[in-house]
């Protein structure tokens, strides 16, 4: 069976019944409690809400709705999602939030069992991050027209993202107070509201200095702004807007836009550091990973590149 497109799946979800009031109240109460305990970001809470609402709408109030679902009902819903073409990764996330929700129900005495206890998460393929080569990164960084205010801003954003290995959300949400050019460091607020200090190289400091002195005042005029990076409207660019500008600049220098994403700059940062002998623990701190196992995937990227290099250049490759 061929996988359905995201648009097809959205249309299928829209054909499900509306969310019932009881389920809506349950989901809201759980998310409030979960946010208070874990301090999750608005984006994460929104994805959890969509997952729970999807189950509730599929149940349509039957046998107690979302709160009353048993293991057989949840298994049937997972089977239905597979038929709709949802990826194993999205199903694994769904199962994770369902476990959190039913664990919350059990703790507060709303039910005596956890129907997710015997449900196995799907096996996820270990995909390698897509990193650009160092020459491609150099070309991409030089793509913006720095004689214009927006071009200079784009250059500073690209330089900073590659120099500091930032997530896209971290970059676009940076306040102007996050940069300390005198000390050459950046204060980043990452996942779970965890802060980390990231050193800045000379190039990123140079372009940030030019942006702050030349471009930002022109873009803002007399308007105040807390965001470090702003557009002609005085507002910070969204993640989607940054995605568009990255692909536009990549295409301008002959890099296939399909191979480039904002997150690819973060992958390139990590891969290039490892290729030049960076310590894995230091890389973990720079990326803001809570677990070293998350960082270790970049060692696979480095090994894969070495394998291709050997196959291409060794006489018996």
Encode pLDDT of 267-280 as tens digits: 888 878 777 777 66
- What's the rounded Cα separation, in Å, for the pair 55 and 58? 5
Q: Do 100 and 169 belong to one domain?
A: no
Q: pTM of the entire structure?
A: 0.57
Please answer whether residues 41 and 5 qualify as being in contact, where contact means their C-beta atoms are separated by less than 8 angstroms.
no
The number of distinct structural domains making up the chain is 2
* Catalytic positions: 167, 191, 263, 266, 289, 298
Model confidence over 12-60: pLDDT tens digits?
444 566 777 888 998 999 999 988 887 777 888 898 999 999 999 988 8
Given 107, 126, 156, the domain boundary residue is 107
- What's the rounded Cα separation, in Å, for the pair 23 and 40? 21
- What's the rounded Cα separation, in Å, for the pair 127 and 301? 10
Cα atoms found within 13 Å of the Cα of residue 261, Cβ hemisphere only: 12
Least confident of 21-25, 119-123, 260-264, 301-305: 301-305
pLDDT-derived band at 303, boundaries 50, 70, 90? low
pLDDT-derived band at 9, boundaries 50, 70, 90? very low
- What pLDDT is recorded for position 218? 95
Measuring CA to CA, which residue among 208, 174, 200 is closest to residue 189?
174
Q: Kindly state whether residue 121 falls inside one of the protein's structural domains.
A: no
Q: Is 162 exposed, middle or buried (0-12, 13-18, 19+ CB in 10 A)?
A: buried
| pLDDT at 1 > cutoff 50 | no
| pLDDT at 259 > cutoff 70 | yes
Within 84-231, residue ranges assigned H as helices are 88-107, 134-141, 149-164, 168-172, 202-210, 216-220
Q: Kindly state whether residue 120 falls inside one of the protein's structural domains.
A: no
Model confidence over 78-96: pLDDT tens digits?
888 888 888 888 888 888 9
Domain of 226 in residue numbering reads as 134-313
């Amino acid at each position: 069976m061929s996988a359905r497109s995201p648009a097809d799946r959205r249309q299928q979800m829209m054909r499900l019944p509306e969310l019932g009031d009881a389920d809506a109240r349950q989901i809201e109460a759980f998310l409030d409690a979960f946010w208070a305990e874990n301090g999750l970001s608005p984006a994460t809470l929104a994805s959890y809400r969509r997952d729970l609402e999807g189950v509730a709408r599929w149940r349509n109030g039957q046998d107690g709705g979302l709160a009353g679902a048993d293991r057989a009902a949840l298994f049937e819903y997972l089977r239905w999602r597979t038929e709709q073409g949802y990826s194993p990764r999205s199903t694994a996330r769904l199962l994770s939030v369902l476990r959190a929700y039913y664990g919350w129900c059990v703790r507060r005495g709303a039910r005596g069992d956890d129907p997710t206890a015997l449900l196995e998460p799907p096996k996820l393929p270990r995909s390698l991050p897509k990193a650009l080569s160092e020459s491609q990164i150099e070309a991409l960084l030089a793509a913006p027209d720095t004689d214009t205010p927006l071009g200079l801003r784009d250059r500073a954003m690209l330089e900073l993202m590659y120099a500091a290995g930032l997530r896209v959300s971290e970059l676009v949400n940076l306040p102007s107070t996050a940069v300390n050019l005198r000390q050459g460091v950046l204060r980043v607020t990452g996942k779970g509201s965890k802060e980390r200090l990231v050193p800045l190289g000379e190039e990123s400091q140079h372009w940030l200095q030019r942006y702050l002195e030349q471009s930002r005042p022109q873009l803002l005029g007399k308007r105040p702004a807390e965001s470090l990076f702003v557009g002609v409207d005085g507002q910070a660019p969204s993640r989607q807007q940054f995605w568009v500008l990255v692909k536009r600049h990549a295409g301008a220098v002959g890099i296939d836009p399909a191979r480039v994403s904002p997150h690819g700059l973060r992958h390139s940062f990590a891969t290039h550091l490892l290729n030049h002998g960076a310590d894995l623990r230091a890389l973990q701190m720079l990326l803001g990973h809570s677990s070293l196992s998350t960082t270790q995937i970049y060692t696979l990227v480095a090994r894969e590149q070495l394998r291709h290099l050997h196959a291409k250049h060794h006489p018996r490759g």
